Structure 1
Amino acid sequence: MRSFALFLLGFIATTSARINYHRHIVSRAYVEQNALFDAYDFVIVGGGTAGLALASRLSANPNYTVLVIEAGGIGPDSVDIPAETYFKSVFNSQYDWGYETVPQPAAAGRKAYWPRGKLLGGSSAINGMYLIRPHQIEVNTWHDVISSQPDAHEWTWDNFFGALKKSETFTPPTDDTVKTARIQWNADSHGTSGPVHATYPGYMVPSTQNWLPTLEAVGIPRNGDADGGDTSGGFFAVSAINPTNWTRSYSKSGYIDSLPPGSNLHILLQNTVTRILFDSSSGGLRATGVEFSPAPGATVQSVRVNKEAILCGGSINSPQILQLSGVGPNDVLSAAGVDVRLDLPGVGTHLQDHISAGVSFQSKQDTAGDIEKSGSDFSKSAEFLSFVNSGVAYVNSTTLFGADGVTMMHQQMNSDMPSFATSIGTGSNNSQVLEGFKTIYTAISDKIFTSNVGQAEILFNLNIPGQIVVQAAIQHPLSQGRIWINTNSAFDAPSIDPQYFSHWADVVTMREGLKLARKVAGAAPLNSVVGDEIAPGSQVVSDDDWDQWLRGNGGTEFHPTSSCAMLPREQGGVVDNKLKVYGTSNVRIVDASVFPINFAAHTMAPVYGLAERAAEIIHTNYNPEPPRGSNNSDPGDSSSNGDLSNDAYRNIISSSTWLLGLFSLALAVFF
Structure 2
Amino acid sequence: MWSKRFLLAGVASFFLHVDLASSHVPRSHEYARALQARKYVTQATVADSYDFIIAGGGLAGLVIASRLTEDPNTTVLVLEAGESGDAVPSQINPPSGTYYNSLLGSPYDWQHKTTAQPGTDGRVLSWPRGKVLGGSTAVNGMYYVRPSETEVEAWKGLLGSQDGADAWGWNNLVAGMKKSETFTPPISDVQTTGKIQFDAQSYGTDGPLHVTYPGFMFSVVGDWTPSLEAIGIESAADPAGGKNFGGFVSSLSINPSNWTRSYSKSAYIDPLPPRKNLDILVSATVTRIIFGGDKNSAGDQVASGVEFATSATGTKKTVKVKKEVIVTGGALGSPNILMHSGVGPKDVLDAAGVNVVVDLPGVGQHLQDHLAAPVVWESKVETAGDIHASGTPFSKQAQTNSFVNSAIAYINASTLFDSAEQFQSAVAADFDAALKDVPSTSPEVIEGYKALYQATQKFTTQSVGLIELLLSINSPKAITIQAALQHPFSQGRVYINSKSAFDPIIIDPQYFSHPADIAVMREGIKLARRVGQSEPMRSALGAETFPGPGVNTDAEIETWLAGVVATEFHPQATCSMLPKDLGGVVNPKLQVYGLANVRVADSSVFPLSFSAHLASPTYGLAEKAADILKAAYTAPAPSNSTGGSNSANPSETGGSSSPGKSNGASGLTSSSGTLLAISLAGIITFVASLLR
Q: Which residue of 411, 421, 438 corresponds with 2:425? A: 411
Which stretch of structure 1 is more off in the superposition, 258-267 or 531-540? 258-267
Go from structure 1 to structure 2 and tell me whether the alpha carbon gap of 1:652 and 1:212 turns closer, same or farther (over 3 Å shift): closer
In the TM superposition, 1:322-341 aligns within 5 A as 322-341=338-357
Residue in structure 2 matched with residue 299 of structure 1 by the alignment? 315
CA RMSD in angstroms comes to 2.0
Residue in structure 2 matched with residue 141 of structure 1 by the alignment? 154
Gaps (5+ residues) in structure 2? 1-35, 640-644, 658-675, 681-692
In the TM superposition, 1:117-516 aligns within 5 A as 117-282=130-295, 283-402=299-418, 405-421=419-435, 423-425=436-438, 427-446=439-458, 448-516=459-527
* Aligned partners of 2:165 and 2:588 also within 8 Å: yes
Q: Deviations over 1:623-655 (max 9, x none)?
A: 345799xxxxxxxxxxxx943275884479999
Amino acid of the structure 2 residue aligned with 1:257: D
Alpha-carbon distance in 2 for matches of 1:263, 1:392: 43
Pick the structure with greater CA Rg: 1
Amino acid of the structure 2 residue aligned with 1:406: A
* Aligned partners of 2:273 and 2:655 also within 8 Å: no
Q: Deviations over 1:349-404 (max 9, x none)?
A: 000000000000111112101110010111000111000001000111111114xx
Residue in structure 1 matched with residue 648 of structure 2 by the alignment? 644
**Aligned-residue offset at 1:413:** 1.5
In the TM superposition, 1:579-590 aligns within 5 A as 579-590=590-601
Alpha-carbon distance in 1 for matches of 2:202, 2:573: 27
Secondary structure of 1:500's counterpart equals: coil
Secondary structure of 1:30's counterpart equals: coil
Q: Which residue of 45, 61, 68 corresponds with 1:58? A: 68
* Aligned partners of 1:44 and 1:68 also within 8 Å: yes
Amino acid of the structure 1 residue aligned with 2:83: G
Q: Deviations over 1:388-423 (max 9, x none)?
A: 001000111111114xx22222222122212211x1
Alpha-carbon distance in 1 for matches of 2:455, 2:484: 20
Instruction: Compute the TM-score of the two structures, normalised by the length of structure 2.
Output: 0.87
**Aligned-residue offset at 1:211:** 1.0
Secondary structure of 1:550's counterpart equals: helix
Residue in structure 1 matched with residue 625 of structure 2 by the alignment? 614
Alpha-carbon distance in 1 for matches of 2:169, 2:401: 37
Alpha-carbon distance in 1 for matches of 2:677, 2:268: 23
Alpha-carbon distance in 2 for matches of 1:109, 1:552: 9
* Aligned partners of 1:483 and 1:495 also within 8 Å: yes
Amino acid of the structure 2 residue aligned with 1:304: K
Residue in structure 2 matched with residue 631 of structure 1 by the alignment? none
Secondary structure of 2:140's counterpart equals: coil
Instruction: Compute the TM-score of the two structures, normalised by the length of structure 1.
Output: 0.89
**Aligned-residue offset at 1:287:** 0.9
Go from structure 1 to structure 2 and tell me whether the alpha carbon gap of 1:655 and 1:581 turns closer, same or farther (over 3 Å shift): same
Alpha-carbon distance in 1 for matches of 2:632, 2:614: 26
* Aligned partners of 2:210 and 2:255 also within 8 Å: yes
**Aligned-residue offset at 1:148:** 2.9
Secondary structure of 1:267's counterpart equals: strand
* Aligned partners of 1:63 and 1:642 also within 8 Å: no
Go from structure 1 to structure 2 and tell me whether the alpha carbon gap of 1:419 and 1:39 turns closer, same or farther (over 3 Å shift): same
Alpha-carbon distance in 2 for matches of 1:511, 1:490: 39
**Aligned-residue offset at 1:153:** 1.0
* Aligned partners of 1:28 and 1:266 also within 8 Å: no
* Aligned partners of 2:650 and 2:656 also within 8 Å: no
Amino acid of the structure 2 residue aligned with 1:165: K
Amino acid of the structure 2 residue aligned with 1:418: D
Residue in structure 2 matched with residue 564 of structure 1 by the alignment? 575
* Aligned partners of 2:81 and 2:285 also within 8 Å: yes
Secondary structure of 1:350's counterpart equals: coil
Amino acid of the structure 2 residue aligned with 1:310: I
Gaps (5+ residues) in structure 1? 1-25, 629-640, 659-671
Amino acid of the structure 1 residue aligned with 2:452: I
Amino acid of the structure 1 residue aligned with 2:390: S
Secondary structure of 1:358's counterpart equals: strand
Residue in structure 1 matched with residue 661 of structure 2 by the alignment? none
* Aligned partners of 2:183 and 2:203 also within 8 Å: yes
Q: Deviations over 1:148-201 (max 9, x none)?
A: 312311110011111110010000000120121111110100000001000000
